[in-house]
């Protein structure tokens, strides 16, 4: 299985689209090369805007460019384009319904050693709380490419989270429809709902659980907002048990969105595997996952615990 850098994959996909579509403009806050736009900056310097370390200014510039018919793409470290400039995101982009695409890279724990200031564990909640904003979290490389194209085709503000560690490149040309989830496995014992690059580890844990006799149904929802209520309810009504798994705080993210869906219908019990609502230490990425039960053994244990508590 081929592994690729999600940042380079993202940058290359957006760059390819931009070379075909002159309305696409890329903005950087001193991180263009890290976001995969080094070559694009040389090929199309008139459509590459380097703002410097000033995310609020870059967001305002992106909003202004959108009023001219451009499709601005601003990519930077996830907490800096969500937490740091939330007011600009909310007012200049969301409130004005500007056709701006804001992409947070190194989401979740992936800036692990730099600690809580660089962890992005509330980005789904922050971006998802803004009216009119779509929140995307693609997983593997094929899904990331498709999500980039769907994001650029969508008319309106979008936030997308990507990671930094290597991700598999399945090359399956899967269709990406904003607001739609899909089944990875079908089963009767438990529904597992996940999103983003977390789905890569969840797939591994589900495969091990199924090999051990646990009939797990895995649903991936690469769109966090709007959530695919239809597929979640369809699966939950069949299994009666739902476990959400995400690299995000336990409140305000995928689990909260699924809870809203289930509470409106009843009938299924929900458990959430997410990061507890407290600051996390500086450590390696793998250690942070392990501490929070988000590694493969931890996810497998959570699945078994949910089923055994039925």
What's the mean pLDDT in 245-259? 97
At 260, the pLDDT band (50, 70, 90 cuts) reads very high
Closest to 258 (Cα-Cα) out of 187, 185, 195 = 195
% of the chain exceeding 70 in pLDDT = 99
Residue 33 has pLDDT above 90, yes or no: no
User: Which CATH architecture group holds 182-308?
Assistant: 3-Layer(aba) Sandwich (3.40)
In terms of Cβ atoms closer than 10 Å to its own Cβ (0-12, 13-18, 19+), residue 46 is exposed
Common-topology check for domains 3-168 and 182-308:
yes
pLDDT of amino acid 251 = 95
CA-angle at 182, arms to 180 and 184, nearest 5°: 165
Rg of the chain taking only CA atoms, in angstroms: 19
Q: Please provide the DSSP assignment of the chain as one string.
A: --EE-HHHHHHHHHHHHHHH-TTEEEEESS-TTTTT-HHHHHH-GGGEEE--S-HHHHHHHHHHHHTTT-EEEEEEEHHHHHTTTHHHIIIIIIITT---EEEEES-BTTTGGG-TTT-BSSHHHHHHTSTT-EEE---SHHHHHHHHHHHHHSSS-EEEE--SS-EE---------TT--EEEE--SSEEEEE-TTHHHHHHHHHHHHHHTT--EEEEE-SEEES--HHHHHHHHHHHSEEEEEEEEESSSSHHHHHHHHHHTT-S-EEEEEEE-SS---S--HHHHHHHTT-SHHHHHHHHHHHHHT-
- How confident is the model at residue 265, as a pLDDT? 83
Of residues 310 and 278, the one with the higher pLDDT is 278
Is 52 within 8 Å of 86 (Cβ atoms)? no
Least confident range from 38-47, 123-132, 186-195, 250-259: namely 38-47
CATH class of 3-168: alpha beta
Res 175: pLDDT: 83
Q: Global pTM?
A: 0.96
Kindly tell me if the per-residue pLDDT of 151 is higher than 80. Answer: yes
- What's the pLDDT at 172? 65
Predicted local confidence at residue 171, as pLDDT: 67
Distances (CA, A) of 20 to 16, 101, 113, 174: 7, 17, 38, 22
Give the pLDDT score at 173.
66
Q: What is the mean pLDDT of residues 48-61?
A: 96
179-188 burial, b at 16+ Cβ within 10 Å, e below that, comes to bebbebeebe
**CA atoms in the 13 A half-sphere facing the CB of 60:** 8
In terms of pLDDT, which residue wins out, 165 or 101?
101
**With bands split at pLDDT 50, 70 and 90, how would you rate the model's confidence at 159?**
very high
Domain edges within the chain: 3-168, 182-308
Rounded Cα–Cα distance for residues 186 and 158 (Å) = 30
State the average pLDDT over residues 151-166. Answer: 96
Q: Token digits for 310?
A: 């039925």
101 has pLDDT over 70: yes
Tokens 């999500």 locate to 147
């Amino acid at each position: 299985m081929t592994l690729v850098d999600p940042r380079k994959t993202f940058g290359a996909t957006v760059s390819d689209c931009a070379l075909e579509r002159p309305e696409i403009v890329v903005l950087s806050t001193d991180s263009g090369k890290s976001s995969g736009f080094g070559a694009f900056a040389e090929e199309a310097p008139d459509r590459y805007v380097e703002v410097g370390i000033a995310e609020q200014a870059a967001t305002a510039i992106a909003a202004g460019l959108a009023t001219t018919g451009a499709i601005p793409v601003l990519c930077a470290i996830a907490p800096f384009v969500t937490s740091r400039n939330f007011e600009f995101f909310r007012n200049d982009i969301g409130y004005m319904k500007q056709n701006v695409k804001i992409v947070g890279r190194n989401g979740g724990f992936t800036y692990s050693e730099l600690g809580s200031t660089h962890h992005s564990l509330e980005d789904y909640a922050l971006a998802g709380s803004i009216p009119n904003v779509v929140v995307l979290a693609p997983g593997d490389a094929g899904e990331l490419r498709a999500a980039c194209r769907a994001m650029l085709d969508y008319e309106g503000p979008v936030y997308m989270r990507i990671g930094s560690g290597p991700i598999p490149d399945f090359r399956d040309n899967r269709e990406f429809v904003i607001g739609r989830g899909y089944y990875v496995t079908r089963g009767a014992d438990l529904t597992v709902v996940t999103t983003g690059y977390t789905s890569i580890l969840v797939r591994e844990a589900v495969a091990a659980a199924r090999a051990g006799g646990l009939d797990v149904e895995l649903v991936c929802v690469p769109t966090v907002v709007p959530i695919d209520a239809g597929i979640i309810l369809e699966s939950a009504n069949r299994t009666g048990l739902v476990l959400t798994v995400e690299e995000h705080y336990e409140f305000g993210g995928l689990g909260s969105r699924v809870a809203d869906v289930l509470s409106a219908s009843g009938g299924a019990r929900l458990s959430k595997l997410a990061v507890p609502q407290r600051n996390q230490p500086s450590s390696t990425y793998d250690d942070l996952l392990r501490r929070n039960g988000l590694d493969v053994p931890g996810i497998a244990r959570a699945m078994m615990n949910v089923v055994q508590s039925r």
